[in-house]
Structure 1
Amino acid sequence: DVITGSLLRVIAGFGLAGVYMPGVRLVAQSSDPARRGTAVGLYVAAFYLGGSLSFLATGLLLEPFGWRGAAVILGAVALAAVPIATISSRGIPETTGERAHLDLRVLRNGPLVRTITAYVGHSWELFIIRAWLAAFLAAAFALRGLSPTDASATASQWAALILALGVPGVFVGGWLSDRVGRTRAALLYALGSGAISIGFGTLLFAPWPAIVGIGGIYAALVAADSAVYSTAVTELAPAARIGSAQALQAVAGFGIGSLGPIVAGISLDLGSGWIGPFLVAGIVGIAAALPLALGLRERPLITFDRT
């Protein structure tokens, strides 16, 4: 039922955030500052690759095993991460210092707050495209004569292909931010993905190559700034408060961002058609990123010296 499924998703979300953010910090603190964006980009790209492969696997497993069987199989596969994490974390030095606590003084840091705000918009847009892209493609396939089951299975595979283009997008995004600065790179990606998002819902009746091509560019752009924000947070926060900054980033990004698919669904129920969900994604994504422009007159969101 809906309640049980929602509770399980909440638990899974806690696990995801609890792994993702500490991983970003480990990669950031162990990488060369001049290449930190590239290193974090590679880490985040691996996250996106896993998400894309899950869509592909869902599409392949849906017909032979049904949605319950697919969920059980993919959940079992995810358990493989436990021994992998245990083995790979050996040899990483422990961070010592004061007892951990959430320090809200990081909110006095204007550039950091603007970065987290932009990350919220990024998460909002990303969660909407991840939640609704497959359904949008299924609707497109249904209009082309496929049965509901075939349309859903085929749409999951195509969604995996389109979202997989976010993998190189994240890596290139981090790499470019090492060269032009975090602020300029983040604004470029946010404005680009937001502009495409605003009009993406109008492509329902477009030729299939156009949907795939524009969708691929969209997925690459919406993913590209993920590594930029995650890297910038580790650079802008004081060394002793990086954990607090990342905690606020995770709570705001995952918490508020998770409301995006709900609002997108409400817009669909209100009769907006497929224009509504993606319009909601694009407007919020752009609005949240615009305050970053204030940083163009200050210093770029990039720091090579943490001493």
Structure 2
Amino acid sequence: MSSASSVASVSSAASVSSASSASATSPVAPCASSASASSGDTRMAPGGPGYRRMSLALFLAGVATFALLYSTQALLPLVSGDFGATASTASWTVSAATGALALFVLPMSALSERFGRRTVMTASLAVAVTVGLLIPFAPNLSALVALRAVQGAALAGVPASATAYLAEEVRPRALITAIGLFVAGNSVGGMSGRVITGWVAQEWGWRVALGVLGVVAVGCAVAFRLLLPAPRHFTPGSLRPRVLAGTVRAHLANPLLRRLYAIGALFMTVFGGVYTVIGYRLSEAPFSLPQGIVGSIFLVYLVGTVSASAAGKLVGRLGRRGALYLAGGTTTSGLVLSLAGSLPLVLLGLVLITAGFFAGHAVASSAVSHTARHGRAQASALYQSAYYVGSSVGSTLGAVAFHSGGWSGTVSMGLLAVAGVVAITVAGSRAARVEARRGLVPVR
């Protein structure tokens, strides 16, 4: 397949599911490719001015976002012990943050359309890191949950604004790779936050661990603001509720976007559930690992860095739907392997779950950016909202399932969610073939 047709397949509705009539009749990709080829295109591209600074800045934003958002996840056994709470109750320190992010990501994206992507991301990180420095002093579990909710709401300005910034400032052929790097920053943040807090907590407790993580996040936020190039292709939009509501309705009327939102939510349900309770499983018999080792298990996130960064090549070889099938199959294999009583097999299972999740997330989120022809921040915000609803639901249901049925209960919940991903993709494949027979889109 040629480069041009690869770009076309990336943005066509047949990539994952059937295209909406709007997508089919006015494809984005050919125009985008032409723009990219144009000598007058001033958007960033690999090797060009500002691209490395932009990539590093958004990578660091991703690190800070995921490190803060899931900062308590590896510490849940210690939080439970300190406050005398069950796993399902302590899991609200995770669910409150992700749930608040899901709730506020759309309003924050509207602010991003009006005041600019860089401005909103900077303000969001500033508030989030400030709250992060206050969290270690929470006097009780209720206060901790409340602060985490505020932190999640603040962080809502980063994900949708980041993908919208990339869609506007990066040439289409480099977009999947650029978004993959941002997602890779998410994985590094999730990994480093858990590893740092795990080892620090083992020596000095969970409060000191969260304080150290807050300081690291401050450094990432400052570097982000210094490095990110000023936007050159941003056009301010309207803050009028009617305009915003119309944009949201248009996105939700697009069958392709609806499928992508559901896929992101289901993948994150698996991931949120598994990583919320894995610390409990590994700290209990038969493994009985110390907190530092449990935190180090999250080094597995490095696999996600690789799989997210490789998403563009994966789509180029397998097509969008083929990449999603592979991601779902990899996640399923990991869930089944994690049922073993052998620690090496459990770790291999986590590797596969992580690789499958980050690949699926990068594929789905980049498809959203390609599909939206207007209101990109809202399109990305709706994806992020669904994605973090999945995280919140997964964290809560995973903990409830673990409390009632052990690790096998959490795995069963995960397998149901992956089955949903496969079912949606299969339905999209069938619909895409119908569209292809009508001569609207190529089958990919």
TM-score by length of 1: 0.86
Q: 1:186 aligns with which of 308, 319, 324?
A: 324
Q: Which residue of 1 is the match for residue 387 of structure 2?
A: 253
Q: Which residue of 1 is the match for residue 74 of structure 2?
A: none
In 1, the alpha carbon distance for the partners of 2:142 and 2:357 equals 30
Deviations 1:245-287 (A, max 9, x none): 11211222112431111111111222x1111112212211331
In 1, the alpha carbon distance for the partners of 2:155 and 2:332 equals 25
Q: Give the AA of the match of 1:164.
A: L
Contact 1:126-1:223 at 8 Å conserved across structures: no
Q: How does 1:66-215 map to 2 (within 5 A)?
A: 66-93=205-232, 95-100=234-239, 101-102=244-245, 103=247, 104-139=249-284, 142-144=285-287, 146=288, 151-157=290-296, 159-197=297-335, 199-203=336-340, 205-206=341-342, 208-215=343-350
CA distance 1:135–1:162, change in 2 (3 Å):
farther
Q: Which residue of 2 is the match for residue 274 of structure 1?
A: 407
Q: Which residue of 2 is the match for residue 23 of structure 1?
A: 162
Gaps of 5+ in 1: 301-307
Q: CA deviation at 1:188?
A: 1.8
In 2, the alpha carbon distance for the partners of 1:25 and 1:289 equals 27
Contact 2:272-2:398 at 8 Å conserved across structures: no
Secondary structure of 2:344's counterpart equals helix
Q: 2:427 aligns with which of 294, 299, 304?
A: 294
In 2, the alpha carbon distance for the partners of 1:92 and 1:277 equals 43
Q: CA deviation at 1:289?
A: 4.2
Q: Give the AA of the match of 2:417.
A: V
Deviations 1:217-260 (A, max 9, x none): 2211121111111100011122x221221121122211243111
How many residue pairs were aligned? 288
In 2, the alpha carbon distance for the partners of 1:201 and 1:181 equals 29
Q: Which residue of 1 is the match for residue 148 of structure 2?
A: 9
In 1, the alpha carbon distance for the partners of 2:238 and 2:372 equals 18
Higher mean C-alpha deviation, range 67-76 or range 93-102:
93-102
Q: Give the AA of the match of 1:10.
A: A
Contact 1:37-1:174 at 8 Å conserved across structures: yes
Secondary structure of 1:96's counterpart equals coil
Contact 2:168-2:234 at 8 Å conserved across structures: no
In 2, the alpha carbon distance for the partners of 1:60 and 1:137 equals 15
In 2, the alpha carbon distance for the partners of 1:88 and 1:290 equals 42
TM-score by length of 2: 0.61
In 2, the alpha carbon distance for the partners of 1:16 and 1:286 equals 30
Q: CA deviation at 1:195?
A: 4.2
Q: Give the AA of the match of 1:110.
A: P
Contact 1:186-1:225 at 8 Å conserved across structures: yes
In 1, the alpha carbon distance for the partners of 2:361 and 2:391 equals 13
In 2, the alpha carbon distance for the partners of 1:78 and 1:289 equals 36
In 2, the alpha carbon distance for the partners of 1:202 and 1:71 equals 31
Q: Give the AA of the match of 1:109.
A: N
Contact 1:124-1:256 at 8 Å conserved across structures: yes
Secondary structure of 2:170's counterpart equals coil
In 1, the alpha carbon distance for the partners of 2:156 and 2:322 equals 27
Contact 2:270-2:414 at 8 Å conserved across structures: yes
Secondary structure of 1:91's counterpart equals coil
Deviations 1:71-97 (A, max 9, x none): 111112211233222212342225114
Mapped pair 1:55 → 2:204 = no
Contact 1:121-1:289 at 8 Å conserved across structures: no
CA RMSD, Structure 1 to Structure 2 (Å) = 2.2
Q: CA deviation at 1:187?
A: 2.4
CA distance 1:27–1:97, change in 2 (3 Å):
closer
In 1, the alpha carbon distance for the partners of 2:349 and 2:265 equals 24
Mapped pair 1:218 → 2:350 = no
Q: 1:235 aligns with which of 370, 379, 391?
A: 370
Secondary structure of 1:273's counterpart equals helix
Q: Give the AA of the match of 1:210.
A: L
Contact 2:169-2:232 at 8 Å conserved across structures: no
CA distance 1:175–1:38, change in 2 (3 Å):
farther
In 1, the alpha carbon distance for the partners of 2:163 and 2:237 equals 21
Deviations 1:120-154 (A, max 9, x none): 10111121223222322222xx424x5xxx62221
Q: Which runs of 4+ in 1 moved over 4 A?
A: none
Structure showing greater radius of gyration is 2
Q: CA deviation at 1:200?
A: 4.3
